[in-house]
Each structure stands twice: as C-alpha cells, then as structure tokens.
Structure 1
Amino acid sequence: MMMLTNEKQSRWRPFQSCLAAAMLAAVASPAVAATVEGITEPLHDLTISASVPGTIARTLVKEGDFMESGAAILELEKRQEELEVERRRIISESKAELNAAAAQVEMLKIDLEATRKLFETSKSVSKEQLLKKELEYKQAVAEHDKLVLAEAREKIEYDMALEQLRKRIITAPQSGYVVELMRKAGEDCKAQEPLVRLVDTRQCYFVANVEARAGAALQTGQKIKLELPSGRQTLTVTGEVTFVSPVVDPASGLLKIKILFENPQGKIRPGVAGLMHLPEAP
C-alpha cells in the first residue's frame, strides 16, 4: 500500500479541511428553489363576430370599457327585422279566426245533439238530416284543428323573427374589457368576421415550459409562488396549477404547464413575462 510521507500529508491537510468545510456547508444550508421563466395570458380572451352579415349601425362602447356579460356592444342595421317581428307578432296574437272556429264548433255540437235527440225520440227528423249535421260538425272540428296548428306555426315564425332581430345586436358573451374594435359605424361586415376583442384580466394564466424531470413534481391543484412585474415593481402572487401536459415535446424535452392566479385589480397586465418557483424535490 502506498503511504504518504509526512511532508505530503502536511500539504494535503489544508485541502482536506476546505473540502470538509464545503461538504458541511452544503449539508447545513437549505437548497435554493429553482425558477422558470414564463408568460402571462388572460383566462378569457375572445374575438367576437356577428353570425349574420350587415352594416354596423351603432357602436355602443369604446376601447377600454369594461362590459358585463350580456351587455350590447354594437348593433347592425335592423329596421327590416324589426318590421318583420311586428308583422309576425300581430299575426301570432290575432285570435279572431280561431275564436270564430271554436264558436262554430260549439254551435254545431249543440245543433247535432238536438237533432240526434229528435231522431231518437220522435223520428221528426230523417236519417239523412242527422248524417248531414254530423258531417257539418266534423268539418267544423277539422277546420278548428287546422287553425290551432296554423297558430302554433305562426308562433314559431314569430320566435324565428325575434331570433333574427337578436342576431343584429352583438352582445358580450362574458364580462371583460374591450381592447379592440375592428369595425366602425357605417362599415359593412361579413358573417363570422371578427368585430370586437374582449379580454377578462381578473384571472390570468402563467404559462411555462419546464424540464420533464422538474415537471414530474407538479400536479393540478398545487400552489406555486410567482414573481410578476407590475409597472416598476415586482409582485409575488400565489397561483394554482390547473394544467400539466400529459406529453413532453420531443423536440425540446419540455413540459407545458398552466398556473391560474387571481388579478382582481388588474395590476398585472397579461402578456408580461415572469418567474415561477419550482417546488423543491422531496
């Protein structure tokens, strides 16, 4: 066995002391959590369009306005649709023909019953007269039933006219800020053409791509600390993991994750980059 001389041992002692101190420091000091860069984006970012073509009659909002769900944003020209709704309403609500048919059925029913009674008791009316009354009654019932069906059809046509009118008013499908108006009053638009961009910034995602090994420690529902810029300062917020991709990108070896965080006052503007603190490995 090779033995070190006293001179060589004396030379190694300082190095051995430094190595031991370093090892003790590594054991004693806590590990620093790793961070990963990512980008913020709003939870809801919608581009709204009309389902029908037309000419924009009025813009009811301006960029920067906050809209509640269901509020009108803009209107297409709708005079023709309004007239059609009124016409269908009058037809649908008119009960004159149906009431007259119902009265006719009731009158012929009474007449038929009286004729049948005379035929059965005194034979003062002939069989042919009774059959004629029965035929008149059945025809009146058939006419009444036809008018009932016509009324139901008119009600459906009225509802369809109302739906066409509603399509001329573009409303917010959810709450959010109007960040872009893509058409002005007087301009034509096609069906499904983008008209308004609506963004809700009260809840946001932090989206990042992490190494697969680090991502293995993440799971939905887990709380994660985020550092996000707000003007000249950096805010520390806590978010919740809502998505961990079930697949790893084969080109980069990275795993996509999403962390949802609250942003009620809009201090953090979606689109800015930030950092997430990865949990320490157990």
Structure 2
Amino acid sequence: MMIARNWKYSSGHVSIFKIAFVAMLVVLSVAPQSGYAQEQMSIAGLTEPVNDVLLSFETDGKLAKIYFKEGGRVKKGDTIMALNKWFEELEVQRNKLIWQGKAEIKSAMEREKTLKALFESTRELYEKTKSVSKDELEKLELEYKLAAAEHERLEIAEKREHIEYDMARAKLAKLVLRSPVTGIISELAVDEGESCESRQPVVRVVDTSRCRLVCNIEASLGIKFKEKQKVDLEIQAGSGSIQKTGKIIFISPVVDPASGLYRVKAEFENKNHEIKPGVEGFLLIPAP
C-alpha cells in the first residue's frame, strides 16, 4: 500500500520573469504548399510527463527489500519495495487458520439438526398419542433452542474472524509499496535497512510515454483554443528538435492578474522516449 502524489516540476513555481520568458512569442515565417508566406507563432513552454508520482508508505518501519534499481522499468502493480513484515505475515496466517477452522460450527450445526428432528418427532408423538410427557417435550424444545442459539453464536464469531483476517491482510499490504503506473523508477530516496516514516517520499516513478507541453500565453493576444483541438508542436531533443502533433487537454479558465498570462496544456505521445520531459518546446499556431 502506498500514498501517491503527483510530482510538480519547478516550472509551476517560477518567478514572473521566468513565466514571461516561457510565454515569449517568436514569429516565424513558413512557406505553405501554395507558395505564399504565412506568419506563424511559436509559443514557448516546458514539457512534463503525464504520470509522475512520488510514493510513500502509510506506516513507519524498516526497509527490508528493494526490488528495482533506479532506471528500472516497472509495470502497474509491481512491488518496488517492502518494509519488515514477518510479524504481520504471522498474524495473517494465524487469523486465516482461526477463520478456516470449521469443526466447531459443523458440530453445532449437526447438533441443532439432530435436536430439531428429535423435538419435532416427539411433539408429533405427544400430540397424537400422549405417550410422552409434556415436561419431556418442553425439555427437548429447550435443548433444541439452546443448540440453535449456539450455532448462531458460532456463525457470528466466524464472520468476526473473517473480518479480523481481512484486517490483518490490509495491515500487511501497507508494508508493501507497489507502482500505481507503468513507468521508470527515476529516483530512490532510501536504502535497504534504513528506517522509513509514514508519508515520507521514498521513490519516484515516471511514465514518459505520454507528455504535456505547458505554455503560459498572453491573454491580450486573443488566441482562441478549444479542448481536444489538435495542434503542432516542436520539442527540443538533444541538439535538435522533433515535430509532434498534440491535443489541447487543458485551458485555464482564469488569467494570472500579475502577469496577464493563462495556462494551456497540450498532450502528445512519446512512446519511443525520444523526448526527455523538462525540456523546452513550442506550440505552433497561425498568427492572429
């Protein structure tokens, strides 16, 4: 079990000067197929992965095992690390044995069944022939009701034991940290044998197969965007750049009063991992 928090790039907490720089517009001239020049805007922004999470344990403990190294690829649900859990594993086994022990319930059920049949046959005999006394009939009825009550008590106890078994399993699960996404382990903050505190970030998992370009745009330009709108992107890759087709997934409903900018996010595929999130990119749109 773990606590996952989205990792925020430092671009989300930059100065007004930095925001203004990121929002800077560069006017380029391109030649379309018709042969006529068309002005195009390049709106600068920064890339980030869609899935970027910090994981924490929900409880304190000593780290017993790390199953992946930094840079290792994990699938959703893979166990990344685990705290010492031998005591909790014993508790799970103990509660499971108690819950699965059905001998007492089976015995009580058979006793109830036997006494019920005996009581009903004796009552029929009493009503038809009076060959048994009323005291004997009442005694059998009392024994039958006591057996039924005991059976019911054991059924309730069995449900309680099942709940205690589930609670022990849930407690054990909190000592195991599993990846909530398929991705790459980009950072391990602890080593085996170290103590971990509850909610202390211990590992970061990043999925770079899908990324976003985050741009801050001057509201005064009057550029109109729509969600799910396809846009052309140019993303830095090494010493060059790569052309991508993105889709607008977020348009801020408000403008930052200090800078006059609003935020737009465009998502794009990066299945070949050719782009490293955090680099600069450009949103290319026709000039208004």
Partner of residue 96 from structure 2, selected from 85, 89, 95: 89
TM alignment of 1:230-241, pairs within 5 A = 230-241=237-248
**Are the aligned partners of 2:91 and 2:168 in contact in 1 as well (CA < 8 Å)?**
yes
**Are the aligned partners of 1:208 and 1:258 in contact in 2 as well (CA < 8 Å)?**
yes
2:134 is the counterpart of 1:122: no
Question: Which one is further off, 116-125 or 136-145?
Answer: 116-125
2:262 is the counterpart of 1:255: yes
SS in 1 for 2:39: coil
2:236 is the counterpart of 1:197: no
TM alignment of 1:64-213, pairs within 5 A = 64-213=71-220
Indicate the structure with greater helix content.
Answer: 1
Larger Rg belongs to: 1
> For 1:197-252, what per-residue CA distance to the aligned partner results, in whole angstroms no more than 9, with x for missing partners?
01110000100101114453111111111111111221111111111111111111
Question: Which one is further off, 165-174 or 212-221?
Answer: 212-221
Distance verdict in 2 for CA 1:184–1:215, change over 3 Å: farther
Partner of residue 52 from structure 1, selected from 45, 59, 67: 59
How far 1:126 moved relative to its partner? 1.4
TM-score (norm: length of structure 1): 0.87
Cross-structure match for 1:267: 274
TM alignment of 1:6-21, pairs within 5 A = none
How far 1:132 moved relative to its partner? 1.2
Question: Which one is further off, 127-136 or 80-89?
Answer: 127-136
How far 1:181 moved relative to its partner? 0.4
SS in 2 for 1:225: strand
How far 1:121 moved relative to its partner? 2.0
> For 1:119-150, what per-residue CA distance to the aligned partner results, in whole angstroms no more than 9, with x for missing partners?
11221221111111111111110110110111
Aligned-pair identity (%) = 43
Distance 2:191 2:51 in 1: 24
**Are the aligned partners of 1:224 and 1:279 in contact in 2 as well (CA < 8 Å)?**
no
Question: Which one is further off, 123-132 or 71-80?
Answer: 123-132
Distance 2:52 2:216 in 1: 21
Q: Amino acid of the residue matched to residue 118 of structure 1?
A: L
**Are the aligned partners of 1:202 and 1:265 in contact in 2 as well (CA < 8 Å)?**
yes
Question: Which one is further off, 163-172 or 65-74?
Answer: 163-172
Q: Amino acid of the residue matched to residue 184 of structure 1?
A: D
SS in 1 for 2:70: coil
Cross-structure match for 1:278: 285
> For 1:87-116, what per-residue CA distance to the aligned partner results, in whole angstroms no more than 9, with x for missing partners?
001101000110010011011112112221
**Are the aligned partners of 1:48 and 1:195 in contact in 2 as well (CA < 8 Å)?**
yes
Indicate the structure with greater strand content.
Answer: 2
Question: Which one is further off, 215-224 or 230-239?
Answer: 215-224
Q: Amino acid of the residue matched to residue 109 of structure 1?
A: K
**Aligned length, in residue pairs:** 254
Distance verdict in 2 for CA 1:198–1:246, change over 3 Å: same
**Are the aligned partners of 1:211 and 1:253 in contact in 2 as well (CA < 8 Å)?**
yes
Distance 1:60 1:203 in 2: 25
Distance 2:222 2:78 in 1: 41
* RMSD between superposed Cα atoms in Å: 1.3
Partner of residue 246 from structure 1, selected from 250, 253, 256: 253
Question: Which one is further off, 229-238 or 178-187?
Answer: 229-238
2:38 is the counterpart of 1:36: no
Moved over 6 A (4+): none
SS in 1 for 2:286: coil
Q: Which runs of 5+ in 2 are unaligned?
A: 1-34
**Are the aligned partners of 1:181 and 1:197 in contact in 2 as well (CA < 8 Å)?**
yes
Q: Which runs of 5+ in 1 are unaligned?
A: 1-27
TM-score (norm: length of structure 2): 0.85
Distance 2:286 2:36 in 1: 17
Q: Amino acid of the residue matched to residue 81 of structure 2?
A: L
Q: Amino acid of the residue matched to residue 110 of structure 1?
A: A
Q: Amino acid of the residue matched to residue 139 of structure 1?
A: L
